[in-house]
Amino acid sequence: METSSDSYPRGTALAAAAERVIPGGVNSTTRYIGTPYAFGSGSGAYLDDLDGHRYLDYHAAFGAMLLGHNFDAVDEAVREVIGGPVLSGLGVSELEVALAEKVTSLLPSAETMLLTMSGSEATAQAVRLARAATGRELIIKFQGGFHGGHDAVARNVISPADRAYGLDPLSKGILPSALDATLIAEFNDLDSVRELYDRHPGQIAGIILEPIPHNVGALLPTQEFAAGLRRLTTDNGSVLIFDEVITGFRHDLGGYQKILQVTPDVTTFGKGMANGYPIGGVAGRRDLMEHFSRDGDVLVAGTFNGNPVGCAAALATIGYLESHPDFYTRTHELGERLRSGLQKIATELGLPAHAAGFGGVFNLYFTADAPAGYRDLLRNDNDAYRLFHRRMTDRGFLMLPLALKRNHVSGSHTADDVEQTLAAAEQVLGEIATERSDR
């Protein structure tokens, strides 16, 4: 596929227009990747840009496209609800109740739940809840974990070596006190968490983590680590928050917590549960969630919370997953084929690379060994990582060309798609191996 701007006249023109009226030309900072500049349509596992180029989509809107683009069962549910239930901003609708009943029946930690419009709003509510319920100020997150852009957690995600584990805010404009109230630990390292509890006795309100830190690819938790966090938070009167915005509904209807058999106090979710329509939520133990009630002490507010379009899309998505358990079998098998295929190619080429992931999520770390925590990722060849994704995208396989970003198999990908992907990856990785050997 050609990558010069001449091959993207409409996309180039739209990107230039966006620069004039949108800061940076995009409405979320990681959306600008150069070519392709803009998309006009999507169907199943494919996206088409404005200039007629077609891409097999592994980015999947950061994982929000769980079933595939323009999935009939979801889109039909949305069409049916338009003109039906209204956004009154008062009371409650049947759709909201039905969705809450469905989620609480499936998610082990969910006794009651609230809807938000995004995962970031859900994690903001969860952190606020932990502080309110415990009367404490400090929160622990893990280096590399991303939980949205709000002040409480906007630090230490993909940090360079000189700022990892230290102060590495994602943005200016955050009060130092907000940053200082969030402590940083190492994933899969219980001792690093114990050390924080020892250093701040009686002050830690809770721990928030992605049970699989998919925002830095796919670090898999050990059972000892996950169970240890459950014991530590229980013993210290803290709240354990699983941020399942990415893992929830993607890996299992009961979230990754069901696979781990570790039940947090609070869970946040969003993204794939409505197959691309905006929605998020927070769920948990009834006694904790009652802080959000009209007689409680934690504010929850949002005009579009529980809107009919998001609720209808979520009910249709979850309903499809319930009636098609083969979704998980298929996506897990395709994900494993991609991981094993990429590993085989890298090994045969002599590239120091390690394929990782779970279920339908996959990525190729450019490290010699399997990473267990963020310290291992500091040895990742980020340039090679970005180059691999860029060249795959240039060949029509859409992968976000940023270091440590993951890829997703949707319900619309096929075995043939995967084999074509591996054939292209063999070419790209062969080029990278040759270039590395010529240095």
Tokens of 315: 């009910």
Per CATH, the number for 72-323 is: 3.40.640.10
Task: For residue range 147-157, list pLDDT tens digits in order.
Answer: 999 999 999 99
pLDDT of residue 3: 54
pTM score, whole prediction: 0.96
**What strands lie across the sheet with 361-365, from one edge to the other?**
354-358, 361-365, 407-408
Ranges of residues in the chain with a pLDDT under 50 are 1-2
127 touches 305 (CB < 8 A): no
Predicted pLDDT of residue 328: 98
Q: What local confidence, expressed as pLDDT, does residue 1 receive?
A: 45
pLDDT at 438: 74
The residues of the chain that CATH labels 3.40.640.10 are: 72-323
In angstroms, the Cα distances linking 339 to 61, 244, 409 are 21, 22, 11
In angstroms, the CA 125 to CA 268 distance is 9
What pLDDT is stored for residue 317 in this prediction? Answer: 98
Q: Tell me, which fold does domain 5-70+325-437 have in CATH?
A: Aspartate Aminotransferase, domain 1 (3.90.1150)
